[in-house]
């Protein structure tokens, strides 16, 4: 009784597994060939001098040592961290405020919600082009609007001291995705908590601070972490709008990585940069989790 059925079960379960694997094999093969393989190879290339065409030459940690004293790399890293440090909090606050406003009973609520989300549907190249015209120093709409209230707007993308702010402004405009997620979280906050707060005579600010924010804090954490990952890899918008200029004031980590990999053909150096980027992202994500221990409130089931 025991031997045969057990074998059959094993056979059946193996067949099930094989069938399952066969069906997902296109993904598995694709993942191994186009994601896992390149990741492993890039780790190897990061300790070599490799230009794509020539044989990689093993050079140990030299690429990493060079990165530490490469002024352009350090500048690009500083720019990226500064951009993240400003745009993530600003984008988060802006998105929460917008979501809270859209969560009230205003007229044409659906229209406003759609309007908030539309920027995320616009192809990034198109929105970057439109923004570069909006931010034009002389004929841009933004400076014209500032002109009406007597302010002489700067040359947003041409001045190294304000170009970064122009990009931050644009990143905040694209907060529609986060708004939708916050809106869903806000609608999930039990009304009984607000009713209890009402009975205690809590003001709307008090309710927002003591009820809403704690209840949506896991969602804020999720959005902040995805923003950290996304923002530290920012590429397309500055690449199109400023090309990293003026004088590399908006030159970001991923742009320098791309230039080294595909334009200067320092693939080994670029691979080292990619691994440094991964470590930075992992470290910042871990730090965020650690900092959030006492700030994030998880409802028990």
Residues of this chain that bind another protein (CB under 8 A): 19, 22, 49, 51-55, 57, 71-72, 136-140, 155, 158-160, 244-248, 259, 262-265
Residue keyed to tokens 């951009």: 83
Closest separation in Å from C-beta 22 to another protein: 7
Q: Cβ closer to another protein: 179 or 257? A: 257
Closest separation in Å from C-beta 281 to another protein: 26
Indicate the angle between helix axes 109-121 and 176-187, nearest 10 degrees.
Answer: 140
Q: Which two tokens stand for residue 79?
A: 């720019």
Q: Cβ closer to another protein: 76 or 284? A: 76
Closest separation in Å from C-beta 23 to another protein: 9
Q: Cβ closer to another protein: 44 or 264? A: 264
Closest separation in Å from C-beta 38 to another protein: 13
Closest separation in Å from C-beta 46 to another protein: 16
Closest separation in Å from C-beta 171 to another protein: 23
239-247 long-range contacts (CB < 8 A, ≥24 apart) are 240/124, 240/125, 240/128, 240/129, 240/132, 241/128, 241/131, 241/132, 241/135, 241/157, 241/166, 241/167, 241/170, 242/157, 242/163, 242/167, 245/160, 245/163, 246/158, 246/159, 246/160, 246/163, 247/160
Q: Cβ closer to another protein: 176 or 244? A: 244
Task: Say how far apart CA 69 and CA 67 lie, in whole Å.
Answer: 5
Q: Cβ closer to another protein: 4 or 107? A: 4
Q: Cβ closer to another protein: 174 or 246? A: 246
Secondary structure (DSSP) of 51-83: -SSSPPEE-TTHHHHHHHH-HHHHHHHHHHHHH
């Amino acid at each position: 009784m025991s031997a045969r059925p057990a074998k059959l079960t094993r056979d059946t379960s193996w067949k099930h597994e094989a069938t399952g694997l066969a069906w997902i094999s296109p993904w598995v093969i694709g993942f191994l060939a186009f994601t896992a393989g390149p990741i492993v190879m890039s780790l190897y290339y990061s300790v070599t001098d490799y230009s794509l065409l020539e044989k990689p030459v093993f050079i140990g940690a030299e690429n990493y040592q060079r990165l530490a004293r490469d002024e352009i790399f350090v500048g690009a890293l500083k720019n990226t961290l500064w951009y993240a440090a400003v745009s993530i909090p600003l984008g988060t606050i802006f998105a929460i405020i917008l979501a809270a406003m859209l969560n009230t009973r205003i007229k044409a609520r659906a229209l406003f919600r759609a309007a908030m989300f539309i920027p995320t549907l616009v192809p990034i190249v198109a929105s970057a082009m439109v923004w570069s015209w909006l931010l034009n120093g002389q004929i841009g709409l933004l400076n014209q609007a500032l002109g009406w209230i007597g302010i002489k707007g700067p040359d947003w993308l041409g001045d190294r001291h304000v170009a970064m702010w122009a990009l931050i402004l644009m990143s905040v405009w694209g907060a529609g995705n986060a708004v939708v997620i916050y809106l869903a979280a806000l609608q999930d906050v039990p009304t009984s908590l607000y009713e209890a707060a009402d009975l205690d005579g809590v003001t709307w600010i008090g309710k927002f601070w003591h009820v809403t924010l704690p209840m949506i804090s896991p969602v804020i954490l999720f959005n902040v972490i995805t923003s950290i990952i996304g923002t530290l890899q920012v590429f397309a918008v500055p690449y199109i709008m400023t090309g990293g200029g003026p004088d590399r004031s908006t030159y970001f980590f991923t742009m320098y990585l791309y230039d080294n990999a595909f334009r200067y053909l320092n693939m080994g150096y670029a691979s080292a940069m990619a691994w440094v980027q991964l470590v930075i992202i992992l470290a910042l994500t871990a730090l965020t989790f650690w900092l959030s221990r006492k700030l994030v409130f998880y409802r028990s089931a």
